[in-house]
Amino acid sequence: MHLLSQILTPERTVCHAHGPSKKRLFETIAELVCANEPLLHYDNILNHLITREKLGSTGLGQGIAIPHCRVGNCTQPLGALLSLEKPIPFDAPDEQPVDLLFVLLVPEEARQQHLDILANIARLFNQQQFCGQLRAARDSCTLYEVACSGAD
């Protein structure tokens, strides 16, 4: 089974999301994640994402960012995938704006699992062909299908 299909759901996949700033985007992500996860709370998710981003940008370069954090009340790794309507500044090393984000939330105690999943996602999003297919998706359903099937 593909990594992304284990942690991503169609409900947490958004094509052409509106995100005029990092903060607004993190608000959208917190809403998205909490909508179907009753144990997770909006303020908690938002604060964790913002706090992690203050430690250093989660922008990888080439228009990709992988915001991630460990969260209490999170019982298993969760992912969210967003392509943006318009790229936004993200303080990436190459100074390019971000238009693709994969968000990773893991249980508070899952330190090594967090690092392992994060490394695998970073390798996947370093593949230009994969990212090109994600960027070509025109709706959320297609974006989800590409992410889960193209993640070989």
Confidence (pLDDT) at 150: 65
Active site amino acids? 68
User: How far apart are the C-alpha atoms of 39 and 107, rounded to whole Å?
Assistant: 12
Cα atoms found within 13 Å of the Cα of residue 58, Cβ hemisphere only:
25
| HSE-CB for 69 with a 13 A CA cutoff | 22
69 CB-near residues (< 8 Å, 6+ apart): 48, 49, 51, 52, 104, 105, 106
CB 67 within 8 A of CB 43: no
> In order of start, what are the domains of the chain with their CATH numbers?
3-149 (3.40.930.10)
Distance CA 28, CA 42 (A): 10
The SS3 call for residue 63 is coil
pLDDT in single tens digits along all 152 residues of the chain: 377 889 999 999 999 999 889 999 999 999 999 998 988 999 999 999 999 999 999 999 999 999 999 888 888 899 999 999 999 999 999 999 999 999 999 988 877 777 888 899 999 999 999 999 999 999 999 999 999 986 54
